[in-house]
Structure 1
Amino acid sequence: MEATGDDPCDRESESSDVVESIVAIDVKEKRAIGCSIFSTADGVLKIANDIPMANENVAEQFLNYAQPTTILMSRRVPETILTFVEKHVERSTHDLHFRLMPSSDFSHTFACEELSSLGSNGDCSFRTASPSNTEEQCIGSNGQALHMPGHSEPQCMKLVRCGSLVDLESVASLSCAGALLTELHRRRSLASSPSSSGGVDIFDVRSVTMFNLADHVFVSEESLLSLQIINHESHPNSQAWSIDSNSSSEKENLSIYGLLHPLASTPQGRAHLRHMFLQPTSDLDIIMDRQRTISLLLQPSNEEKSRRVVSIIDGIAPLVLTRVGDLIERVVNFDQAKSQQRYSVRPGIDDELDGLKRQYDGLNSFLTEVANHVAQDLPAWARQSIRSCIFLPQLGFLTVVEQGYQQGGSSFDEECAGDGLWKKSFTDNETAYYKNRHMTELDEQYGDIYSQISDREVEVMQRLAMDVIVHEEALLATAAICGEFDALLALAIGAAKYGWKAPQLTTANILHIKGGRHPLQELLSPSFVPNDCYIGDDGNVTPGRTVQALVLTGPNQSGKSVYIKQVAIIVYLAHIGSFVPADAAVIGTVDKILTRISLRESVSGTGSTFAHDLKDVSHAMKYSTARSLVLLDEFGNGTTANDGAGMFTAMLDYFLSSAAQTPRILAATHFHEVFANGYLNHHSTLTLAHMDVRTDWDAINPEDKVTYLFRLVEGYSSTSLGSQCAVLSGIPEDIINRAREIGELIS
């Protein structure tokens, strides 16, 4: 471990009243950045939701929020973030300590085990906090423990219980929690030593919370995939090895980002566009700035200029870039550097280096003469064993002798090298390499000339780097400006290409969309039917009534899932500053988009499908706020009908009974009996709708019996048309008829 400044533990004996704020930061393989924070002021361990895009801006937000006295950072953190944090420490006006720790200390498995055992004393409650809120929402009024004291639980059950209280998918942040817990154990050990008078209990974890960065809209990686915001897959040529550390073995599959990614014309633009997609924000100033730029680019008077800008950006070559490029080209011999796999400086740049290279290049002919001179000192029979003299870096000059020659039963070693003037350095097959007085003289005269050349080239390259770094600020600023403009231009081109409109963002808790469309689905279906969405009340829609939850019913394949996904996509796009696929939209800013949408299953995962569903819903219930958007697609289908309907009803009742903390909810379900029996009729903030269909049971062709209109209408539908879907899917008719009979008997 490395440290800057004194170890904070050394100061604990001076005063136990000093408030410590310890922050740990880590970055995982998929570039997700995580953070955990512990404060001795309240004994709270705060675990962040992972943020998919790791960069200095996110690290800065974590540091600004934590106001740390100690920063723990994993060695696997990218160099750019590490450099930023080091500069942050240098600029700090207060006593700030920084420690770079082995990545093995940031263990997700260790963190899960430790968190599972934290509640063994029954005094560790779990809460959720948001930097934008002044209050924390407690989970369990009794200080809910991770497991009951006195009872032994299997590790899998500990993980299940732990996963119901913290987000186990936030791997980077949980790894940070593991490093923090290790650090706290170290602090407690030092504080309890005889030489310390500090308090031990200030390093005890009293409670654990999840938190989300202010102005950052939290969307889990699973939600990004299920909504097809980002949808990457392994590249077909992913086994190809590349020395480019920035190259990716993934390619973008069909996704919202994939629609706009090709519209950016520069690498910086594509990188900035991905950055925008992975960091949605609720900051209205940032959103409005982006919208104004897109609107400006889309004005008819700027249409031709916008098209020209694409080629202009591609050909941008500012004077500073040209000067830097010429400077590097004048010094570096790229062809030779590529073949030699090391630095190579052109002739005429450094006189001393040129002299060393001339000496080295002349060694071959010179060493041939030396080999002949060495052979003259040997008996005639042994001269033929001298092959040559060579120079090897770090070993110096050596005489090469072919083994196997003998005179009177004596070998070369016994006759010629036995006097101690010849020393064998090593052998290679039938060849031996010797040091003798001639080689020693050459070593003293020329030294390790190869290393001298390498060292001198490093010095020249360092001087070049110093000359280039003068232009660093201008280069980075140019790249950043071009990248940001190119990304916004891609959004503008996409808006014009796909007919997207500018949404109106507000802090009001509303979601009004007119003529909303699914941007991917409409590309596959030329006759895509737009639909409206009204949640919340701004005084214009159903005055006097505030709708917080919209529940969709209706037949299979009628478009329920597409509808709730399109609403979430529109909300997401609005929060990156993009135009949206709708005729008009008024969107209240959100802090989280929480989903329960089936996506994929894996044999490597633990728990059943229903267990995963419960985990997602549990997180939504614990961590949602009035500013959150919650999507629930067919929750409860993974268990028996009665249990599923009961869980679905109880979950909705919980949300709708939260009054001012009720999030905006979109749900799709087949549990028609819940509404037929009026179990939720007492909630005025709940509205029901279904996707309209037309039936003609007299039609001859099975596909003509049901016509899906894909139009949202009020009220609930009590039919699922499951048998008709089976017909359209090719299930034999006798099986379908039998299924109808069994269904009637069960009902």
Structure 2
Amino acid sequence: MDATVGTASDEEAGLPYLSESILAIDVKDRSTLGCSVFCTTDGVLKIGADISMAGEDVVEQFLSYAQPTTILVSRRVPESTFAFIEKHAGRIIKEVTLRLVSPSDFSHTFACEELSSLDTHGICSFRTTSSANVDGQCVKSSIQALQEHDRQEPQCMKLVRCSSLIDLDNISSLSCAGAVLIYLHRRRSLVSPSSNSSMGYMFNVRSVTLFTLSDYVFISEESRLSLQIINHESHPNSQTWSVDSKSSVEKENISIYGLFHPLASTPQGRSHLRYMFLRPISNLDILSERHQTISLLLQPSNEEKKKRAVAILRKMGNIIDRIVPVSLTLVGDMINRAINFNETKSQQYCSVMPGVDTELDALKRQYDGMSSFLTAVVNRVAEDLPVWARQYIQSCVFLPQLGFLTVVEQESQLGNDIFNGGSVNDNSWKKSFTHNGTAYYKNRHMEDLDRYYGDMYSKISDKEVEVMQKLASNVIVHEKALLEAADLCGEFDALLALAIGAAKYDWHAPQMTAANVIHIKGGRHPLQELLVPSFVPNDCFIGDEGMAPGRGTQALVLTGPNQSGKSVYIKQVAVIVYLAHIGSFVPAEAALIGTVDKILTRMPSRESVSRIGSTFALDLKQVFQAMKYSTSRSLVLMDEFGNGTAADGGAGMFTAMLDYFLSPATAIPKLLVATHFHEVFSHGYLNQHKQLSLMHMEVRSDINAADAEDKVTYLFKLSKGCGLMSLGSQCAVLNGIPEDIINRAQVIGEIIIKYIPFIIQKA
């Protein structure tokens, strides 16, 4: 069964190289989830760790991590899990091929045998022999392996070596690796031997590694869109639209990633930059390395080097220890000596440099000297013609595939040939074609030249193709170094883009720590500050009491009037934390960021007729997921939860949600909440929670101001305490609602407040 689904964008689909990501998912014992991923761009097979009691959040994280173009799902996967994959896969990448695969393909035994037999850098980087008395056949085989280097390593020793590199007890994930290997074998078998051999090579496993989701920060696609990390839209140029979604071009909408995407110089750099934005990590060593690299690039002494690096990224491999410099130098010299890049650019085909092939050089000299040679040929042809006809012979030319031809003038009015060779003794004059008032003839002299010289242009083209094929054969020997260079240059280009962006937007390096804390000084929202004349920065402190006595808090509840900046504040904190976890600098004066494992949000839901459930139901689903999956190291954002239902019911749900998160029996996450339910805090019910801190966004009101717009001044400054004003009427004025409607609304509101106890009593 194949199903193609897809709604999300893959803007890198226009890359000049083919990229496929194959993901296999299997569930054993009804609860243990396994996963393996293969990517054609680097040839790496990544085997995950088995996860017990895995839920849909883990499946979504696997999908987000792999960014798959093909998903292999075992038929033993529960129907609900398959339905979830089918529903959510298209949100990750535009086109996804979903295949239901027989459980026999998910074979642990087959996977172990195949992995132990792979001759890759990740598996067969060394060979083993044994002196232990395992069995006679094994010892005999080992001795033969020592004596004869061309013999294969014994299978039992391959398994021993493989088990030292891969946990063979990861049954589910190894079974997924077996399914991926079978699929790759089928893809290779479909490549015709006469076609481009690189297509088959794409589906060879060149390295095997392990991955664990513990190093990755989980964030759902919905949360990523709510925070505007990555956001796509259809390209405004209608000429790029297509019925086929694969052919349609999309552009990045206003987003954090969109700030940096134009700053990357290469396709590999943009691809790696997007990879970093999609996969935030919690590995402190990798994050520290990225931050240090950006700091190095931003040093004043490296400013000129940074500018030059944008244009010479292809040379960056020379300073990387993992790449053999001699290999890249040989390849570069080989290509520069063989290809004439100036002629190649002007003529739109590959031109070979002089001195590479003597036969090709001789053919080119003959072809380049054709002009003077053909002048002599014209005189020779004219000697055989009557004197009166010689004036009508314009020239002799050489045309590829047609050979040598004599050009004869035609009558200007009737277009008849003035001379057609009829008065010549031989009958060899034959007209080939006419063009622009001239006729092109074959004759005895032209046929002699054809026999002697042949089609020189075709000979030159064929010879250049032959030289290019030899060059390609020599270059392919260094493929590994070239691929590593391309990957490393892409990684460097992405970090260079982050460095350029940090300097452009005045971002600073965060300090990452394993402590459970978020301390931000002078934080800003990276998108909002570009849209307003002046942005007011704010601090944030969430962490254990031990980190800062007297300031410790795990939950921050934010109140204040409409349009005072509550949503912007909680989003900016989440964005700063997210950016720190991709290795970027952050929009803040300083930041101490403890690693998080998840970023969970309850933001206003995207409206769509295709989504089942009301807006409030979707909000409840997000809150439930946050309650179920959050840990003490998670960051949870709640923006106006409870507004989708009746005020009393919404306030009750909101209070119960806070009570649950802050209860001693729960691992309290780092909680950021924005709300208008001021009545929740009026009677002090939540004061029992010492980890709760009440804050508000400051406003200044002047009821005596003549102009309605001047009655309220938003300061956008975070302050302690609970703000009990909503100022909905003033917000309506600022957004253009007519004054008579606002006055009427205030009267109705006063009537409702006055008579609601009477209405309740009568009911």
Q: TM-score, normalised by structure 2?
A: 0.59
Inter-CA distance 338–668: structure 2 relative to 1 (3 Å threshold): same
Name which of 481, 484, 488 aligns with 1:481. 488
* Among 31, 34, 45, the residue aligned to 1:44: 31
CA distance in structure 1 between the aligned counterparts of 2:652 and 2:525, rounded to whole angstroms: 31
Taking the aligned partners of 1:58 and 1:611, their CA distance within structure 2 comes to: 43
Deviations 1:258-281 (A, max 9, x none): 223333344443333333222221
Question: C-alpha separation between the residues in 2 aligned to 1:665 and 1:540?
Answer: 17
Given candidates 567, 575, 580, the residue that maps to 2:586 is 580
Cα gap change, 1:538 to 1:682, in 2 (>3 Å)? closer
Q: Take 1:564 and 1:720, find their aligned partners in 2: how far apart are those partners?
A: 18
Residues 217 and 282 in structure 1, CA contact (< 8 A), matched pair in contact too: yes
1:715 pairs with 718, 721, 745, which one? 721
Q: 1:106 touches 1:176 (CA, 8 Å); kept in 2?
A: no
Matched, 1:326 2:336: yes
Partner of 1:516: 523
Name the amino acid aligned to 1:694. Answer: R
Distance 1:676 1:47, change over 3 A: farther
For 1:733, the aligned partner's letter is E
Can you list the C-alpha shifts for 1:231-266, whole angstroms capped at 9, x where unaligned?
332222363389xx9998222333222223333344
Aligned length: 537
What SS class does the counterpart of residue 38 from structure 1 fall into?
strand
Q: Check conservation: 1:282, 1:575, Cα contact below 8 A.
A: yes
Q: Aligned partner of 2:304: which letter?
A: R
1:611 maps to 617
| Partners of 1:504 and 1:725 in 2: CA distance | 39
For 2:522, give the aligned amino acid.
G
Structure 2: gaps of 5 or more residues:
13-19, 52-65, 108-170, 173-210, 316-328, 368-398, 406-430, 433-458, 754-763
Deviation at 1:573, TM superposition (A): 1.2
Q: Give runs of aligned pairs for residues 220-259 of structure 1, distance below 5 A.
A: 220-237=220-237, 239-240=239-240, 249-259=249-259
Quote the Cα distance in structure 1 between the aligned partners of 2:97 and 2:287. 33
Q: How far off its partner does 1:321 sit?
A: 6.0
Q: CA deviation at 1:593?
A: 1.2
Aligned residue type for 1:280: P
Q: 1:460 to 1:44 in 2, by over 3 A?
A: farther
Report what 1:621 is aligned to.
Answer: 627
TM-superposition CA deviations, 1:689-724 (whole Å, max 9, x none)? 110111111111111101111111112222211111
- The one-letter amino acid paired with 2:612 is T
Whether the 8 Å contact between 1:634 and 1:670 is mirrored in structure 2 is yes
- Structure 1: which amino acid aligns with 2:486? A
Residue 604 of structure 1 and its aligned partner are, at CA, apart by 3.7
Aligned residues of 1:596 and 1:613 also touching (Cα < 8 A): yes
Structure 2 counterpart of 1:136: none
Q: Using a 3 Å threshold, how does the CA distance of structure 1 residues 729 and 332 change in structure 2: closer, same or farther?
A: closer
Q: CA deviation at 1:661?
A: 2.1
- 1:704 paired with 2:710, answer yes
Quote the residue 2:47 is aligned against.
Answer: 63
Instruction: Pick the aligned partner of 1:549 from 549, 555, 568.
Output: 555
Aligned-partner Cα distance in 2 for 1:313–1:102: 31
Q: 1:102/1:483 Cα in 2 relative to 1: closer, same or farther (>3 Å)?
A: closer
SS across alignment from 1:292: helix
- Residues 238-637 of structure 1: pairs in structure 2 closer than 5 A: 239-240=239-240, 249-298=249-298, 302-315=299-312, 318=315, 319-320=329-330, 322-326=332-336, 329=339, 463-537=470-544, 539-543=546-550, 546-598=552-604, 600-637=606-643
What code does the residue aligned with 2:233 have?
Answer: E
Quick check: 1:34–1:170 contact (8 Å CA) kept in 2? Answer: no
Letter in 1 for 2:567: S
Report the Cα offset of residue 185 of structure 1. 8.9
Single out whichever of 534-543 and 325-334 deviates more from structure 2.
325-334
What is the DSSP-based 3-state SS (H/G/I as helix, E as strand, rest coil) of the residue aligned with 1:63? Answer: strand
Note the 1:199-210 alignment, pairs <5 A: none
* Separation in 2, partners of 1:102, 1:226: 24
- Closer, same or farther in 2 for the Cα pair 1:623/1:316, shift >3 Å? closer
The TM-score with structure 1 as length reference comes to 0.60
Once residues 324 and 708 of structure 1 are traced to their aligned partners in structure 2, the CA distance between those partners, rounded to angstroms, is 66
Distance 1:570 1:34, change over 3 A: farther
Inter-partner Cα distance in structure 1 for 2:555 and 2:476: 56
Distance change (3 Å), C-alpha of 1:212 and 1:469: closer
For the residues of structure 1 that align with 2:213 and 2:42, how far apart are their CA atoms?
12
2:17 match: none
Residue 102 of structure 2 is aligned to residue 183 of structure 1:
yes
Change in Cα spacing, 1:655 to 1:532, as seen in structure 2 (3 Å) is same
Measured at CA, do residues 612 and 324 of structure 1 come closer, stay the same or move farther in structure 2, by a change above 3 Å? farther
Identify if the C-alpha distance between structure 1 residues 217 and 540 changes in structure 2 by more than 3 Å, giving closer, same or farther.
closer
- Corresponding residue of 1:678: 684
Show CA shifts across 1:395-419 (max 9, x none).
Answer: xxxxxxxxxxxxxxxxxxxxxxxxx
Percent identity over paired residues: 57
Where structure 1 has 5 or more consecutive residues not aligned to the other structure, the ranges are: 2-25, 68-80, 83-100, 120-125, 127-145, 147-158, 189-201, 204-210, 367-386, 389-451
Change (3 A) 1:463 1:65: farther
What secondary structure is seen at the aligned counterpart in 2 of 1:486? Answer: helix
- Whole-Å separation in 1 of the counterparts to 2:531 and 2:481: 45
- Matches of 1:704 and 1:102 in 2, distance apart? 55
Two-structure CA RMSD over aligned residues (Å): 5.1
How far does the alpha carbon of each residue in 1:49-68 deviate from its partner, in whole angstroms, 9 at most, with x for none? x99x97868975x514259x
Separation in 1, partners of 2:558, 2:535: 19
- Aligned amino acid, residue 273 of structure 2: L
SS in 2 for 1:655: helix
Sort the Cα spacing of 1:706 and 1:606 in 2 relative to 1 into closer, same or farther, 3 A. Answer: same
Q: CA deviation at 1:332?
A: 13
